[in-house]
Amino acid sequence: MDMDKCFKKKEVKNVKRAGLRRLFLLNFFMIILLASHFSQGIPWSLESEFVSYVNAPLEWTKGFQNIHDLQQFVTTNHIIERNQAFIQSLSKQLNCDLSIIEELFRSKLIVIGNIKDYAFFDEIERYIFDLERLYMLMLEGLGNGILIIEYYQGLEELLEIISSFEVKITRQGEYLIASTNTNFFSEYQNKLMTRNVFSDDILIYAEAKEKNLTVTNAFSFLNIELKSLNAEEDISQFPVQIVEIPLEFEFPNGLFVFANHKAKEFFYSRFEVISSIDEWQIFYDLIDSLFVYGFYYEQKDQWLIGFKSHHNFYDNESFRNQISKWGFTQSKTIKPFANSYYLSVVEDYFMISNFKPDQTIDNLEKGEIALGLKELQEKTGNREVYEAGYEWTEVLGFPYYFFSSIDDKIGRQVIRIF
């Protein structure tokens, strides 16, 4: 009996020890996991006016091979050669080894500052291809905020040279945190925090009060997305797929579609009203109350702006009365106006153009404008928007696609380059 009790007691004791060993190992691995997680986190700030993340900009052009227009732009404009020339110039200016400078632009960079409205948000396409502009952004962070750089050998000495040996530096995990602004540096250290790492396809991320910007290499296109808090509540949107234009033109250089609340802004951004402003305002208010979406076509020196209604325009008495003052009747749908323009009423479409639209095409689905619309719909996806389109950009030298939408009071403005 005694031996039996001892044996049983020993068995229980071994079970307890095994349980303790498992618990110890579990805690040990949890500590390693947590330590690994926080060491991989990126130093960040939620209280500053501006925070930006830049992911190894010297490597970006290698990822543009599947994006035809970008790759052609990089080649035609000698972007790689221009950036390399800047790096060599900076190396000589700082009297620093070229490999140290190159590694700076192969690293992950974070800039934190207290300037409320960086031009960064409005001119992001200029930063994507210009290392010198990104370097100036880094200097802004170093001098007036915080500059954080993924650590590599020689970085600390480089920052000392750049700052004329006035920089304050501390290290957190894999990053060096630097600034020549003593007050800002001390304040940031007291409020230091980390955030999760970004995926490799994100080239740039920036945030300011009530807005953020993300630039993503989506393999076949570059996606630039700006999100902001939208205070307006009643904003009409429409599916891009419903847009049709019942005329035939050449394939457009620029094509835009927009909801009614954007119509006035769009019109005045491109046209100047030099006749009776009061008369135009009355007519605009009438159009605004009738149309579902508007559209604008541009090809070389030709342009056309149009409005699509729920019903035939001539079915509306106020519209008939107003347009009759300009010599329109239901039997005349296209009429020269003021010797320079054409007014067109085609069922549920009303248009103003500087050329006479062609209505003779038999199959609109095979027309050039239909192909342009189809391409726009494919590039923007199946979604509701309040504006969308594509246009030629002088900065890049090729067209880009864009759309804007609102979801739960969050506004999205997206540019896509293919």
Report d(CA 115, CA 50) in Å as an integer.
7
Report d(CA 340, CA 53) in Å as an integer.
51
Report d(CA 203, CA 394) in Å as an integer.
23
Residues 340 and 286 in one domain: yes
pLDDT of residue 202: 97
**Number of domains making up the chain:** 2
pLDDT of residue 176: 97
407 domain residue, yes or no:
yes
pLDDT, tens only, 4-30:
332 233 343 444 444 444 444 444 444
Kindly give, in sequence order, each residue whose CB lies less than 8 Å from that of residue 88, ignoring residues fewer than 6 positions away: 98
**What is the CA 133 to chain-centroid distance, rounded?**
18
pLDDT of residue 116: 65
pLDDT, tens only, 385-410:
999 999 887 767 788 999 999 988 89
The domain boundary residue, chosen from 228, 246, 271: 228
Report d(CA 418, CA 381) in Å as an integer.
14
- Range of the structural domain that residue 332 is part of: 238-417
pLDDT, tens only, 335-351:
665 567 888 888 899 98
Report d(CA 357, CA 381) in Å as an integer.
29
Residues 139 and 198 in one domain: yes
The sign of the CA dihedral 234, 240, 244, 247 is positive
Residues 354 and 405 in one domain: yes
The pairs formed by 402-406 with CB atoms below 8 angstroms and a separation of 24 or more are 403/240, 405/237, 406/230, 406/232, 406/235, 406/237
Residues 216 and 247 in one domain: no
Residues 255 and 135 in one domain: no
316 domain residue, yes or no:
yes
The domain boundary residue, chosen from 228, 260, 281: 228
24 domain residue, yes or no:
no
Residues 212 and 248 in one domain: no
pLDDT of residue 36: 42
Residues 124 and 214 in one domain: yes
pTM: 0.83
9 domain residue, yes or no:
no
Helices 79-94 and 68-76 meet at what angle, rounded to 10?
A: 50
Residues 88 and 114 in one domain: yes
86 domain residue, yes or no:
yes
Kindly give, in sequence order, each residue whose CB lies less than 8 Å from that of residue 370, ignoring residues fewer than 6 positions away: 244, 245, 364
131 domain residue, yes or no:
yes
Q: Are 257 and 308 in contact (CB under 8 A)?
A: no
Report d(CA 126, CA 366) in Å as an integer.
37
C-alpha dihedral over 297, 303, 305, 308, to 10 degrees? -50
pLDDT of residue 337: 59
DSSP, collapsed to helix, strand or coil, labels residue 350 as: strand
28 domain residue, yes or no:
no
Q: Rg of the chain over CA atoms, in angstroms?
A: 30
310 domain residue, yes or no:
yes
Residues 325 and 364 in one domain: yes
Show the low-confidence residues of the chain (pLDDT under 70): 1-40, 116-118, 231-233, 273-277, 279, 330-339, 359-366, 395
Amino acid identity for residue 344 in this structure: S
Residues 293 and 208 in one domain: no
H or E stretch covering 12: helix 2-40
Q: 394 phi and psi, to 5 degrees?
A: -70, -30
The domain boundary residue, chosen from 171, 195, 228: 228
- Characterize the bridge pairing of strands 50-55 and 387-393: unpaired
Quick one: 180 exposed, middle or buried, by C-beta within 10 A (0-12, 13-18, 19+)?
A: buried
Q: Where are the alpha helices (DSSP H) in 41-181?
A: 68-76, 79-94, 98-104, 124-128, 131-144, 155-162
Amino acid identity for residue 321 in this structure: N
pLDDT of residue 364: 58
Report d(CA 389, CA 240) in Å as an integer.
10
Closest to 368 in 3D by CA, of 417, 277, 307, 297 = 297
Residues 188 and 253 in one domain: no
Closest to 148 in 3D by CA, of 38, 45, 61, 49 = 45
For the record, the structure tokens of 344 come out as 């067109």
Residues 290 and 345 in one domain: yes
